[in-house]
A and B are shown apart, each in its own frame.
Chain A
Amino acid sequence: MTEDPAPRASAAGSRRRSPWGRGSSRQLLALPTFGWTLLFFVAPLSILLLYSFGQMNLITFDVNFGWTLDNYRQLNQSLYVHTVVRSVLLSLGATLGCLVIGYPVAYTLSKQQGRIQTLLLIGVMIPFWTSFVVRTYAWVNLLQNGGPVENVLHALHLSHGSLNVLYSPTAVWIGILYSYLPLMILPLFVSLERIDPGLTHAASDLGASGLRAFRRVTLPLSMPGVIAGCILVGVPATGEYVIPSILGGGKTLMYGNVIADQFFQVGDYPFGAALAMTMMAVVTLFLVVARSGLSRVEDVT
C-alpha cells in the first residue's frame, strides 16, 4: 500500500501524454484480432509445418512425427515440378491477360464522369453477385464442342471443326482470366483516376503527343495500380483450385489440386503439408518482390 502513489503518478503522467490512456491498455484492443490470428492461422500453419516434416505409414495410416526431409525430396518428382511450373505459367498468363484486357477498360472508366462512371463500375462488379462456382460451370457450356463460343467462331469464319478447348490448360486460363478480371480493373481504375488530368495537358503542352504523353506520364503514374492488380490476380490464381477442377476436367492439374488430392484422395497428410508449405514459400517470395516494387513506385506518387 505504501508503494501505491508512485505507479499511480506515473500512470497519470502517461495519461496526460496520450488521450487514449496508457500504451499497454491501448494495445489490449488488438487482443481479439491477435487471438483470432493465433488460433485460426498461426496454430494450423504450425501444425501443417509439423506434418510436413513427419512421415506417414501408408498401410496403417499412422502419422509419425519426426524430422525428415523426405517429403520435400519427393517434390523433385517430375509430376510435381511440372505442376508447379504449370501453375506459375497459368497464373502469369492469366495475370498478363487481365492486365492487357483490364488496362483499357480501367482507362476508359477513369475518363468517364458521374453517373456513367458509377454505372460502368457496377457493371464491372456485378459478376461478383453471382456464385463463382456457378459462373465457372457456365464456361463449361460456353466452351464445349458445339457450344456458343464454337458457333460464334464458325460464323465469323475464324475456325472450323471442333473447338476442343474444354478440359485443357486454355480453358483453365480463360476461366481464371474471366474470374479475376475485376480484381485487376479496380486497382488500375483507382490509380488512373488519381492522376491529375492537368499532367496530361502539361505533357502535351511540352510537346508530347497523346501516345507519348501516355507512355511518359500516365503509364508510369499508374504503376501502383498495375502492381496491386498483379498481386491481387497473380497470388490467388497460383493456388487456384476450383477453376482447374471444373474447366481442366481433372487433366489440367494446378498446384492447389495436387495438394487437395494428397489430403482427400491419397490421405498422405505429411506430403500434402510439404506441398502446401512449398507453395506458400513460392507465393510469399512473389509477394515480397511485388511489394518492394510497389513501395518504390508509391514513394513517387
Chain B
Amino acid sequence: MSTTAGQSRPPAIALEQLERHYGELTAVAGIDLAIADGEFFSLIGPSGCGKTTTLRIVAGLETPSSGRVSVRGQDVTDVPAFKRPVNTVFQHYALFPHLNVFENIAFGLKERKVSRGDTRRRVTEMLELVGLTGREKARPKQLSGGQQQRVALARSLVLEPAVLLLDEPLGALDLKLRKQMQMVLKEIQREVGITFVYVTHDQEEAFSMSDRVAIMHKGKIEQIGDPVDTYRRPQTLFVADFVGASNRFEARVVERLGSGSYRADMGTLGTLDVPGVAGLAVGDQAVAVVRPEAIRTAPGFGDAVLDGTVTDVSFMGPQTQYVVDAGGLGTAAMLSPADDDDLLHSGAAQQFRFAARSAWLVAADPGPVDDAQ
C-alpha cells in the first residue's frame, strides 16, 4: 500500500501546527498532517471548514499565520508559490483565455526554459494522457467544461510536480461528467504516480478516489483514515454525519466488553452489544450510529427491532429510501435495494431490524446536535 512507502521516504507533504487567522476569524486552527508519496489524499469537510485555505497554504498562495509546510522533507514555508514543487488545479480551471490549449499546457515549461523540442514532446504526451490529442489549437472558451478541466490537469501534470493539489476540480461539472472525470482522475493518478491532494465537500467523490481522507471541521482535522474505516468507524458524531446519512439512537454504556465493544442500554431497543470508539467509560452517554442501508425488514434479521411507520418513500433507482417514524426513538432512514420484492408503502406499519454489530457507538455531542459549522 502506498501509505507504507512513506516510512522509508520523507512524506510528500508534511504540515506541522499549521494555523491561519484572518483577524478574529480562524480558518485553520492547528493542523498536523503527513501525506505519503504517491498517495491519493482527500481533504473533505463542509464549506468554511478550512480545507481550501489549507490547500492554498500548501500551494504557497496563502501565508500561514504559524506552523510549517514541508514538501519531500524540505521546508517550503517561506518559499514563494512560483518556486514550489507543487502545482494546483483550480476550481474554475483558471485557464489562460489568450492562449490555446498547447500554449496553456506549455506555460510552465516555458518558465523553466525547457527546449522547444522537449516542450512539444511533453505537451503531446500530456494531451494523449488526458485524451485531448488534436485540440492543441483550440482556445479554452471553445472547449466544454470537462475538456477545460483536462487542460488544467495537463497544464499542472506536465511539470511533474512532487504533489498535485486539486481544489474542488469537479465542482462546476454536471453529475454524469463528474462521475466520468472521477474515473479519469483516478486512472491518471495511478499512471503518473504523483501524489494527489484533493479538496472537496463531496464525501462520496472523495471516497471513490482516495487512499485516505481527512475530515476537517472548524479548521481542525477530526479524523484521518481510509474511506472504509472512516465510514464504518467514525470517531466523532460530526464525522459520522458528514461521511453519510446516519440514524442516531441514544445509548448509555453499561459495560466495557473489550476489543472495542460495549454493552449499551438503548432504551426501548433493549441492551445490545455494540462496537464503538475507544475510550468510552461505563455510565457515559453515547450515540449509536446506524447506517440506513444496515436496516432491513426481513423477519428474524439482526438483533435490534424497532416498530415504526413508513412516512415517506423515495425511489432513487438502484435503491429506495424510506423515512420511518419510530415513535419514541425519533425518525429513521432506511435504504433497500430497488429489486426488493415488496416495496413498502407510505403509512405501512412494520418492524425494522438491524444487527447490533453494524451499529457504532460514539460519544454524545456536548454541543447542540446540528452544529455542523
Contacts and interface: CB of A to CB of B under 8 A. Distances in A.
B155 interface: yes
Interface string A178-205: 0000000000000000001011011111
24 contacts: A196-B94, A198-B90, A198-B92, A199-B94, A201-B61, A201-B88, A201-B94, A202-B96, A204-B61, A204-B80, A205-B59, A205-B61, A205-B82, A205-B87, A205-B156, A206-B82, A206-B87, A207-B83, A208-B107, A208-B108, A209-B82, A212-B82, A216-B107, A300-B97
B96 A217 contact: yes
A204 B82 contact: yes
Most chain B beta carbons < 10 A, residue from A204, A206, A208: A206
Contacts, number: 67
B328 to A, nearest CB: 52
Interface string B83-108: 10001101010111110000000011
Interface in A202-228: 202-209, 212-213, 216-217, 220-221
A213 B61 CA distance: 14
Contact of B98 (A196, A204, A300): A300
A197 B95 CA distance: 12
Dominant secondary structure of chain B at its interface with chain A: loop
B90 to A, nearest CB: 6
Contacts of B80: 204, 209
A295 interface: no
B112 interface: yes
A221 B140 CA distance: 14
Contact of A301 (B92, B98, B111): B98
Nearest to A217: B96
A206 B159 contact: yes
Contacts of A201: 61, 81, 88, 90, 94
Contacts of A212: 82, 111
Most chain A beta carbons < 10 A, residue from B88, B94, B97, B108: B94
Contacts of A221: 97-98
B363 to A, nearest CB: 41
Contacts of B88: 201-202, 205
B96 A199 contact: yes
B80 to A, nearest CB: 7
A208 B113 CA distance: 11
Contacts of A216: 107
A246 B61 CA distance: 52
B111 to A, nearest CB: 4
Most chain B beta carbons < 10 A, residue from A205, A207, A208, A221: A205
Interface of B: 59-61, 80-83, 87-88, 90, 92, 94-98, 107-108, 111-112, 139, 155-156, 159
A88 to B, nearest CB: 30
Interface residues of A, number: 21
B35 to A, nearest CB: 18
A251 B96 CA distance: 50
A212 B81 CA distance: 13
A197 to B, nearest CB: 9
A203 B107 contact: yes
B160 to A, nearest CB: 12
A179 B83 CA distance: 44
A207 B108 CA distance: 6
A226 B320 CA distance: 60
Contacts of A204: 60-61, 80-82
A300 B138 CA distance: 11
Given A199-B96, A205-B81, A217-B96, 6 more contacts: A196-B92, A198-B92, A204-B80, A207-B108, A212-B82, A300-B139
Interface in A252-277: none
Contacts of B87: 205-206
A209 B60 CA distance: 12
A220 B103 CA distance: 14
Contacts of A198: 90, 92, 94
Given A202-B88, A300-B139, A207 B94 contact: no
A207 B159 contact: yes
Question: Which 9 pairs, one residue from A and one from B, show the smallest C-beta to C-beta distance?
Answer: A206-B108, A207-B111, A202-B94, A198-B94, A300-B98, A204-B81, A204-B82, A205-B88, A209-B82
